[in-house]
Structure 1
Amino acid sequence: MSYDIAIVGAGIAGATVAAEIGGRARVLLLEAEDVAGYHATGRSAAFWSETYGGPGIQPLTSLSGEALRAGGFLDPLGSLHIGEAADEVRAEAFLDEFAGSGVVLERVDPRDYVAGLRPGWTVGVMEASCAYIDVAALHADALARARRAGATLVLGAALTAAERRDGRWRISTRSGDFDAAVLVDAAGAWADSVAAIAGARPIGIQPYRRTLVQLQTDPPSTPTMPHVAHLGGDFYFKPEAGGRLWLSPHDETPCDPGDAQPEEIDVAIAIDRLEQAVDWRVTAVDRKWAGLRSFAPDRLPVYGFTADAPGFFWFAGQGGFGIQTAPAAAAIGAALLLGDAPPSSIDVSRYAADRFA
């Protein structure tokens, strides 16, 4: 039961970095739940947007787009950023924020894209590159590639102890004991807890609850409608199969790591914000759920070894953009773990774990 690299967490982060490492190291994937990707990965917003997460995330997203398109994981969608007249300043700031980034943004009349917008909603910026992302297929593909390369996946293996002895980690889980030279913390909302167990200094990665609702509306959504996001960050929605609508109030409620559940007040807020923007009538709430988004203090991901715990590697803090940046993040993580050069188009230093030292 001895490995080169043990990865704690088999969600999209752990699965993709294991797949990227391939057969170049003996890899162990430890997953606390009985199914991989149960929390954040399994409850994703399922869209890829180059502006989502801001300029610090955009290079990771844009680079990942090449691999996601090549793998067939993206389908055209487009994202329309909308606002009222008072949001004109926000629209200009949004355009300025991504000027020179290579992301194509265009001023448009939002009423040309969304029927039923209420009077006053006249500000629009179109991000045509935004796409649906097949999260389940991407995650399954990463796990399959990791297995084919020889990685071992152990489910129900919540970490209970990790001790560094003689240059190796002695790892105890609820599914047995293991040994590895390097311990990778890809535990998402539990990243700080894993660090504490291993004797590494926690960074302050905070989980937040994000609410999602699937609705039926009158009139129903149309498949030609783009993803729609409020420039002020109050909501976003996108069309789903069967004329349904997928909606979020864009909430971020600090919480402890766990099985996140939606609050009725957040569902009500989401619907109220939607009805303030459009004249559609909500006829049914089909589903409601919540997911976890985990951020480091500066809201950038954390990749790399830390000096305060030899052999401990951070791969966490990927917020709500961990799936859309997964290929680039995995390439960076694997390069740093194996001693290779990371992608030259990315300034990896801005994501270094020791920036919090």
Structure 2
Amino acid sequence: MTRADIIVIGGGIAGISAGARLAEHMSVLLLEAEPQLGYHSTGRSAAIYIRNYGNATLRALNAASEPFFDAPEGVSDTSLLSPRGEMLLATEAELDELAAYAAEAEGMEQLTPEQAVELVPILRREPIAAAAIEWSARDIDVDRMLSGYTRLLKARGGQIVTGAPVTGLARQDGTWQVRTGTGTYSAPMIVNAAGAWAGEIGAMAGAIPITLTPLRRSAAILPAPEGHDVRDWPLFASASESWYAKPEAGKLMVSPADEDPVDPHDAWPDDMVLAEGLHRYEQAVTVPVTRVETSWAGLRTFTADRTPVAGFDPLLDGFFWLAGQGGYGVQTAPALSEFCAACCAGLAPGLPDSVRTALAPERLSPPV
């Protein structure tokens, strides 16, 4: 039996970043069900840092993560961010949604419809009633981030076992026994960073019942519109988030921004959902969609209040929840991994009390 001070279940960006931080203080063993790390949500991320994205708790986590992205010590020698910008477009029917977003945001600049079209020349002018841009939104180099955290975890003595889905969890004499297809592992503490499967891991362990709902999000790569160089365009999206488009390696990634509840699985796009989303996108631009080069889908897993759950389970000793990151997992990973490591190592967490309370697992548990 392989032993460690702590076992991290899940090899996406949440688990890998937490493992790398924890390895500074204790021996770490990370278990990933898939043959490779970052296979599910991490590898299918939109890969953009938007400080104003999400509710108040998420915006606090975004802000706490930004210094790491700019200077990712131990993970990369250079910033993980590059300029992009995020532009929101509102029709008359979406003006209230744009106003509500802007009211809670910092650093948003109002644009005229003409300015919006100047930034993205394929936009149709007629339906744009208002627009706003967050210039500070930036692309994230997710591959470099994941590989950097992986190197850091290994450099600090951490072990990674892939192809090891968890089949059983039990606590005996103050130690967790974790059964997988590759063997049994033990540690006094566990971090549940299993993404869409975190609810199943919690139930297997006998933790408090937390509802975690995976929502499918689809995307497609379209060729760049003829005669246009899209590389310097911002991400552009409807204010109601009914679609968005982002330059990707000289082409355009377009998403229907779908949120269909599904069971945890290796997600794939629904052809009808994708077609309907591309139609909504077509209504906003002057260039028809004539070819889809490739498409995919990922799972964004949410709690009931759409805020991550991070903290020790109130019923189980040594069981730490790190789940429910939804569509914010990559850009909140630096802050949440530091928080996880501090809690598990018995150090002072670096987040305000209000944020810690908002993340606490007990908020999601029905009263006994």
Name the TM-score, length of structure 2 as normaliser: 0.93
Name the counterpart of 2:359. Answer: 351
* Aligned equivalent of 1:113: 119
1:15 aligned partner: 16
Deviation at 1:267, TM superposition (A): 1.8
Displacement after TM superposition at 1:281 (Å) = 2.4
1:63: how far off? 1.6
Choose which of 245, 251, 254 in structure 1 pairs with 2:261.
254
The corresponding residue for 1:225 is: 233
Give the stretch that moved more between structures: 126-135 or 221-230: 221-230
RMSD: 1.3
- Give, in angstroms, the shift of residue 116 of structure 1: 2.7
Q: 1:264 aligns with which of 261, 271, 295?
A: 271
> Distance in 2 between the 1:333 and 1:255 partners?
28
**CA shift at 1:122, angstroms?**
3.2
1:344, CA displacement in angstroms?
4.2
1:22 Cα deviation (Å)? Answer: 2.7
Partner in structure 1 of residue 58 of structure 2:
57
Q: Partner amino acid for 1:234?
A: S
- Give the match for residue 76 of structure 2: none
Give, in whole Å, the separation in 2 of the partners of 1:84 and 1:14: 40
Q: Secondary structure of 2:68's partner? A: helix
Give, in whole Å, the separation in 1 of the partners of 2:351 and 2:34: 36
Contact 1:210 1:293 in 2 (8 A): yes
- Describe the shift of the 1:229–1:55 C-alpha distance in structure 2 as closer, same or farther (beyond 3 A): farther
Whichever residue aligns with residue 104 of structure 1, its letter is G
> 1:3 aligned to 2:4?
yes
How far is the alpha carbon of 1:89 from its aligned partner? Answer: 2.1
Cα distance change, pair 80–278 in 1 and its aligned pair in 2 (3 A): same
1:104 maps to 107
- Give the equivalent residue in structure 2 for 1:74: 81
Aligned to 1:301: 308
For the Cα contact (< 8 Å) 1:218–1:283, is it kept in 2?
no
Structure 1 residue matching 2:304: 3-state secondary structure: coil
- Partners of 1:214 and 1:57 in 2: how far apart? 28
How far off is 1:291 after superposition? 0.3
Aligned to 2:151: 144
Task: Give 1:217 shift.
Answer: 4.4
Q: 1:11 to 1:344 in 2, by over 3 A?
A: closer
SS of equivalent residue, structure 2 residue 145: helix
1:182 to 161, 177, 189: 189
Q: Quote how far apart the aligned CAs of 1:85 are.
A: 2.7
Q: Deviations over 1:263-295 (max 9, x none)?
A: 111221121011100111223211100001000
1:198 to partner: Cα distance: 1.1
Q: How far did 1:86 drift?
A: 3.0
**Which of 99, 112, 125 is the matching residue for 1:92?**
99
- Larger displacement relative to structure 2 (198-207 or 10-19): 198-207
Amino acid at match of 1:53: G
Q: Distance in 2 between matches of 1:313 and 1:134?
A: 28
Deviation at 1:91, TM superposition (A): 2.1
Instruction: Give aligned pairs, total.
Output: 352
- Cα deviation, residue 128, structure 1: 0.7
Identity %: 38
* Among 178, 185, 197, the residue aligned to 1:171: 178
Partner amino acid, structure 2, of 1:132 = D
CA deviation after TM superposition for structure 1 residue 25, in Å: 0.5
Native 8 Å contact 1:221 1:245 kept in 2: no
Equivalent of 1:237 in 237, 241, 245: 245
Structure 1, unaligned runs of 5 or more:
none
String of CA shifts for 1:103-132, please: whole Å, max 9, x gaps: 211111222312132212131111011011
1:310 Cα offset (Å): 1.6
After superposition, the C-alpha distances for 1:184-234 in whole angstroms (9 at most, x for unaligned) are 100000001111111213300111110010001433452221011211110
Query: In the TM superposition, what is the alpha-carbon distance from 1:53 to its structure 2 partner?
Result: 2.1
Residue pair 2:214, 2:299 contacting (<8 A) in 1 also: yes
| TM-score normalised per structure 1 | 0.95
Is contact 2:216-2:260 (8 Å) kept?
Answer: yes
CA distance in structure 1 between the aligned counterparts of 2:190 and 2:219, rounded to whole angstroms: 33
For residues 196 and 122 of structure 1, the distance between their equivalents in structure 2, rounded to whole angstroms, comes to 48
Whether the 8 Å contact between 2:195 and 2:301 is mirrored in structure 1 is: yes
Give a deviation string over 1:309-352, Cα, whole Å, max 9, x none: 22111000000110011101111111111111111457211101
Match of 2:339 in 1: 332
Which residue is 1:135 aligned to? 142
User: Counterpart of 1:183 in 2: which secondary structure?
Assistant: strand
- Work out which of the residue numbers 290, 294, 303 in structure 1 matches 2:297: 290
Larger CA deviation: 108-117 vs 77-86: 108-117
8 Å contact from structure 2 (residues 339, 351) kept in 1: no
Write the deviation string for residues 141-163 of structure 1: whole angstroms up to 9, x where unpaired.
11110011111101111111111
CA contact (8 A) 1:73 1:134 kept: yes
